[in-house]
Amino acid sequence: MLVKADRQEELRHLIAFLNGPEVAAICAGAAFPALHPEVDNRLPDNAVFKWIGWDYVKNNDFKALIADTNSAFLLAFQGGAE
Q: pLDDT digits over 11-61, tens only?
A: 999 999 999 999 999 999 998 889 899 999 988 899 888 889 999 999 999
Q: Is pLDDT above 90 for 10? A: yes
Amino acid at 28: A
pLDDT at 74: 94
Burial of 60 (0-12, 13-18, 19+ CB in 10 A): exposed
In terms of pTM, does the model score above 0.85?
Answer: no
pLDDT at 57: 92
